[in-house]
């Protein structure tokens, strides 16, 4: 299928609007799951670590399954995937309202909703990139704020719905709201060339004849010859009885000759098809080996290896506050009267601000994006260490705002990855890093919850979280230092304008 040149406008702005609302509707509840987390703790009476798995799966499973999501969007298109995923998200949320135990929520909320969100994220990013080229950064930045605005609004919305209709009613209403994703998905019109032929015809025309299966064709030929032979013999027998037997023998001889030729042709084409399948399997195996060789080359890059460790540790330590901050406030015995705004809402709105500000800073030529990213990691670690000392709503709100702003470093992570491995390896490297980010999202909240179950307080849990983020930041800083690069033999080959952390092992 041929695509037109990206219009950088026109219907593309409709795509931006519907992609924004798609991420708003699908990620609003999973990112604001901290409000539901408190209700699930009271409803099922399970430990904090076991209950935290629900929210961590919902946010991590989409990243873990990112290769599968990419394949689905590439195979079926963004619009069908978005509509199907809308049913997944809405159905998973509604099913969760009938959950009899925490294990049911693992599937309905954690896996079904999480996988639906991953598919929708891939679909919105893909369709936006197809419609924009020169303004692609602006378009992607606008749609990425949908999830942060969703976190800000859904935190207060779910709290209000729980007070009015209870936990089950809240999930049913939120699930019904998610059905609006279907309307958004229906507007994701694919960018196809108007002169391109219909998909079915184009597909048939491009398939060589030797790759079809021939047994049905052979059967049809034999049946047709048999019918013709029978009609011909009957006609001859009626008109000229003495010649009937002779013509029958001649026709049978001709038929057997035709069948032999058809069978030989069939066998020949089956052999050709078998050889084609063998060559295809061999080619796929070579691509598989090439993929793993390229992966090993990436991990030989010391900055990329440090980046992989840093993103894993950052998500293990930095993601839990967005899920557990409400429970931290309840554990600190903060009165409900002191609540001016849910802490998760503060995290959400400051994440939006952080994405915009850090993204703008990354565009300045004098800013080293890797050092900027390392700075956000180190500051996040310090903020996590300060959480156990916060005993009032005001201090927790300030720390929530700081953590939300620093979490906006997701907007500069693609910049860092590109400068580290190069634009030609960005897709491969980014997919690997997102897989480990999803692993960190899935493991972080349960680990912090288990620490609470063991110690009956959050202090040790957030000390552990802060240590993880600081460790990842220091490892990445050491790998990026110019003095470290000077110790390698290949550092002298770097161009003078290249960032100091662009490793020469890419060459």
pLDDT tens-digit series, residues 294-353: 778 777 888 888 888 998 999 898 888 877 888 888 887 777 666 778 888 888 888 888
Q: What pLDDT does residue 261 have?
A: 60
**Does residue 235 have a pLDDT over 50?**
no
**Does residue 215 have a pLDDT over 60?**
no
Q: What are phi and psi of 47, to 5 degrees?
A: -70, 160
Would you place residue 183 in the very low, low, confident or very high pLDDT band (cuts 50, 70, 90)?
very high
Distance CA 81, CA 70 (A): 10
Q: What pLDDT does residue 210 have?
A: 43
Give how far Cα 110 sits from Cα of 72, 150, 170, Å: 20, 18, 17
Q: What pLDDT does residue 59 have?
A: 85
Q: What token pair was written down for 23?
A: 């991420």
**Does residue 216 have a pLDDT over 60?**
no
**Does residue 22 have a pLDDT over 80?**
yes
Q: What pLDDT does residue 504 have?
A: 31
In angstroms, what is the C-alpha Rg of the chain?
Answer: 30
Mean predicted confidence (pLDDT) in 375-385: 93
Q: What pLDDT does residue 260 have?
A: 55
Range name among 1-5, 143-147, 346-350, 484-488 with the lowest pLDDT average: 484-488
- Dihedral of CA 88/91/96/98: which sign? negative
**Does residue 490 have a pLDDT over 60?**
no
Mean predicted confidence (pLDDT) in 459-482: 89
Q: What is the 3-state secondary structure (H, E, C) of 397-443?
A: HHHHHHHHHHHHHHHCHHHHHHHHHCHHHHHHHHHHHHHHHHHHHHH
Distance CA 192, CA 175 (A): 33
**Does residue 494 have a pLDDT over 50?**
no
Give how far Cα 408 sits from Cα of 42, 347, 387, Å: 32, 10, 19
Each residue of 274-284: pLDDT tens digit? 776 767 676 76
Q: Contact 351/91 with Cβ under 8 angstroms?
A: no
Q: What pLDDT does residue 157 have?
A: 92
Distance CA 358, CA 418 (A): 16
Each residue of 185-205: pLDDT tens digit? 999 988 765 444 444 444 444
Short-list 356, 361, 386, 381, CA closest to 371: 361
Q: What token pair was written down for 94?
A: 């509604």
Would you place residue 427 in the very low, low, confident or very high pLDDT band (cuts 50, 70, 90)?
low
What does the CA dihedral 439, 444, 445, 450 come to, rounded to 10 degrees?
120
Distance CA 244, CA 112 (A): 72
Q: What pLDDT does residue 278 have?
A: 66
Q: Contact 444/317 with Cβ under 8 angstroms?
A: yes
Q: What pLDDT does residue 256 have?
A: 54
Most confident of the ranges 22-26, 243-247, 454-458 = 22-26
Percent of the chain past pLDDT 70, that is, above it, reads 74
Distance CA 447, CA 333 (A): 23
**Does residue 507 have a pLDDT over 50?**
no
Percent of the chain past pLDDT 90, that is, above it, reads 25
Q: What pLDDT does residue 166 have?
A: 93
Which fold would CATH assign to domain 1-193? Growth Hormone; Chain: A; (1.20.1250)
**Does residue 499 have a pLDDT over 70?**
no
Distance CA 479, CA 490 (A): 14
The segment(s) of the chain belonging to CATH 1.20.1250.20 are 1-193, 278-484
Residue 57 vs residue 265, higher pLDDT: 57
Which fold would CATH assign to domain 278-484? Growth Hormone; Chain: A; (1.20.1250)
**Does residue 479 have a pLDDT over 90?**
no
Query: Which residues have a Cβ under 8 Å from the Cβ of 269 and sit 6 or more positions away?
Result: 210, 214
């Amino acid at each position: 299928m041929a695509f037109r040149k990206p219009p950088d406008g026109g219907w593309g702005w409709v795509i931006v609007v519907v992609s924004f609302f798609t991420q708003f509707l699908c990620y609003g509840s999973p990112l604001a799951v901290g409000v539901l987390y408190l209700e699930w703790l009271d409803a099922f009476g399970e430990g904090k670590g076991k209950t935290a798995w629900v929210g961590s799966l919902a946010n991590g499973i989409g990243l873990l399954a990112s290769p599968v999501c990419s394949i689905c969007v590439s195979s079926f298109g963004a619009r069908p995937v978005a509509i199907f995923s809308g049913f997944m998200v809405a159905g998973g949320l509604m099913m969760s309202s009938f959950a009899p135990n925490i294990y049911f929520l693992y599937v309905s909320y954690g896996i079904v909703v999480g996988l639906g969100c991953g598919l929708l994220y891939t679909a919105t990013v893909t369709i936006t990139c197809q419609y924009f080229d020169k303004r692609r950064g602006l378009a992607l930045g606008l749609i990425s704020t949908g999830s942060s605005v969703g976190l800000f609004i859904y935190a207060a919305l779910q709290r209000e719905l729980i007070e009015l209709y209870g936990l089950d009613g809240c999930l049913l209403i939120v699930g019904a709201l998610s059905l609006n994703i279907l309307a958004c998905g229906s507007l994701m019109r694919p960018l196809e060339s108007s002169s391109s032929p219909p998909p079915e015809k184009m597909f048939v025309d491009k398939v060589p004849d030797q790759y079809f299966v021939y047994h049905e064709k052979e059967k049809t030929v034999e049946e047709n010859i048999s019918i013709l032979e029978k009609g011909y013999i009957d006609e001859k027998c009626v008109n000229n009885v003495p010649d009937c037997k002779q013509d029958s023998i001649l026709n049978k001889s001709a038929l057997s000759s035709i069948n032999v030729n058809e069978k030989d042709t069939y066998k020949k084409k089956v052999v050709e098809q078998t050889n084609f399948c063998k060559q295809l399997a061999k080619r796929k195996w070579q691509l598989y080996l090439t993929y793993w060789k390229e992966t090993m080359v990436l991990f030989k890059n010391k900055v990329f290896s440090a980046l992989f460790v840093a993103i894993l540790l950052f998500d293990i330590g930095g993601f839990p506050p967005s899920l557990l901050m409400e429970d931290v406030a309840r554990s600190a015995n903060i009165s409900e009267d002191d609540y001016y705004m849910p802490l998760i809402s503060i995290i959400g709105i400051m994440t939006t601000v952080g994405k915009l500000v850090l993204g703008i800073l990354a565009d300045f030529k004098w800013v080293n994006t890797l050092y900027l990213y390392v700075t956000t990691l180190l500051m996040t670690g310090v903020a996590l260490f300060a959480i156990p000392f916060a005993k009032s709503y005001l201090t927790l709100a300030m720390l929530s705002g700081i953590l939300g702003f620093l979490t906006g470093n997701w907007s500069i992570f693609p910049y860092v990855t590109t400068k580290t491995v190069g634009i030609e390896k960005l897709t491969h490297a980014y997919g690997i890093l997102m897989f480990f980010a999803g692993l960190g999202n899935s493991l972080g909240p349960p680990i912090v919850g288990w620490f609470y179950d063991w110690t009956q307080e959050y202090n040790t849990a957030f000390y552990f979280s802060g240590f993880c983020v600081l460790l990842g930041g220091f490892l990445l800083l050491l790998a990026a230092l110019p003095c470290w690069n000077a110790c390698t033999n290949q550092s002298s080959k770097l161009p003078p304008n290249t960032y100091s952390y662009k490793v020469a092992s890419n060459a």
